[in-house]
Amino acid sequence: MTDATPPSAGRPAAPRGLSRRGLLGLAGAGIAGLGLGVAGDRTVIAATGGAGTAAGYPFYARHQAGIVTPAQDRLHFASFDLSPGTSRADLIALLRDWTVAAAAMTAGRDVGEFGAVDGPYDAPPEDTGEALGLEPAGLTITFGFGPTLFEATDGTDRFGLASQRPADLVDLPHFPGDMLEEGQGGGDLCIQACANDPQVAVHAVRNLSRIAFGKAAIRWSQLGFGRTSSTSTSQATPRNLFGFKDGTANIKAEEPAAVDEQVWVQSGDGPAWLAGGSYLVTRRIRMTIETWDRTILREQEAIIGRSKGEGAPLSGGSEFTEPDFDKAGPDDAPLIDKAAHVRLAHPSRNEGRRMLRRGYNFVDGNDELGRLDAGLFFISFQRSPEQFSAVQLSLARNDAMNEYTRHVGSALFAVPPGARDGAYIGQALFA
């Protein structure tokens, strides 16, 4: 997005006029910004119109895309650790290379000067090629910096960044019930690639990982199918694997004041380099769906606090009716249970704290008992990690849903603001 307010709900900023193949052979000449206005004899395919699945979002913008951007259907998220011996200059070179590649891929172009098939015949192709012929598919690539980038777990300041570390960028606290698995959280750097075509999202992470070889390697990664939140009023509310609508009360792009207050780090909040950025929390939440599925509907709805079909709060109305937590039934018990998820997570019960949720469903095969390894890959963006921690602490203590969930992965990243054309992502951090 070029600004906190998207150009129009659910519509990409500009449809791509060029196919992935359209720029082959240009060798970088005239490729700038959106890649529009390129001269030459290469094929230029007519604009596909505003169809959300076909078009893309500009990479160079005030804020990074992939936050208030209407949530795409697919996710490939990867966390990286920088390799031993990597220098500050190497890190900057990596961010520079990643920026150039991300700008190309989000515009639907191949990575590299020659791309997937037009390079020297005796060299490996620069681009891996599986996105040839595919549209940008709304691809966004969002980069983040983990706490260990600023100070390694042994306390060393590998990149001379310790003085630039935001006070808020510390490991999330241990929450009651956390069952975090070794190697499933944390990381020096992260990439969130979202697209409406899974192959486009995977292509992005694959090529960025390849560019990083020798400087950084994947620590953990996660594929997600099926967004579990809406980030725009133009989108229908999707369902999580419990079968319930999720993210009804999410911060939406159409609430610019809330986005500024709750999502973007403001100047004065901390180090200047992060102003216009955000904090990204990920939680890999395993759901014991087999147990959930044999829970009676009455209990399922009581746990969530909403009806399963419409998604209306149990206090009445329809999906977007504000829940009335005081409204009681004939037995004087509140219609929305004291331990219901919607009550505990609601801003009114959390001193106004909100976050922009952008999670995805996942199913990664099955465990040794034949149960699906399924759940929610929770992603939220907020101005301060404290917004997440306060709400999560309340949920971890009391949420009736905890019986069916298990938090196995956790990470926090500072998401720098967007890069202007010609700059690289996070450049202000290295000024």
Partner 1 sequence: MRSRLALPAFVCSAVLLALTGCVANESGPDATHATLTVDSSASECAVSAAEAPAGTVRFRVTNSGDKVTEFYLLGHDGLRIVGEAENIGPGLSRDLVVELEPGKYFTACKPGMTGDGVGKAPFTVTESGAAGEVDAALAARIETANSGYAGYVRDEVAELATGTDAFAAAYVAGDEALARSLYAPTRAHWERVETIAESFGDLDPKLDLREADLEEGQEWTGWHAIEKDLWPAEAEAGYQAYGADKRAHLAKLLVADTQTLKGKVADLSFTLSQQTNGAIGLLEEVASGKVTGEEEFWSHTDLWDFQANVDGAKVLYAGVRDILLDKDRKLARQLDTEFAALQALLDEHRVGDGFAAYTELSAADIRALADQVNALGEPLNRLTAALVIS
Give contact residues for partner 1 (rule: CB under 8 A): 25, 27-29, 83-85, 100, 113, 118-124, 210, 213-215, 217
In the complex, minimum distance from the CB of residue 28 to partner 1, in angstroms, rounded to a whole number: 5
**278-287/372-382 β-pairing:** antiparallel
In the numeric block, the tokens 């549209």 are attached to: 135
Q: 109 or 343, CB closer to partner 1?
A: 109
Q: Given the complex with partner 1, which of 124 and 268 has the nearer CB atom? A: 124
Nearer to partner 1, 84 or 155 (CB): 84
CB of 215 to partner 1, least distance (A): 8
- When the beta carbons of 83 and 321 are compared against partner 1, the nearer one is 83
Give the nearest distance from C-beta 353 to partner 1 in angstroms: 39
Rounded CA separation 385/281 (Å): 8
Cβ neighbours of 260 (radius 10 Å): 13
Nearer to partner 1, 124 or 330 (CB): 124
Q: Which is nearer to partner 1, 213 or 326 (CB)?
A: 213
Q: Shortest Cβ distance from residue 10 to partner 1 (Å)? A: 34
218 φ, ψ to 5°? Answer: -65, 135
Largest interatomic CA distance in the chain: 79
Compute the least distance from the CB of residue 190 to partner 1, in Å: 18
Q: Please report how close the Cβ of residue 149 comes to partner 1 at its closest, in angstroms.
A: 18
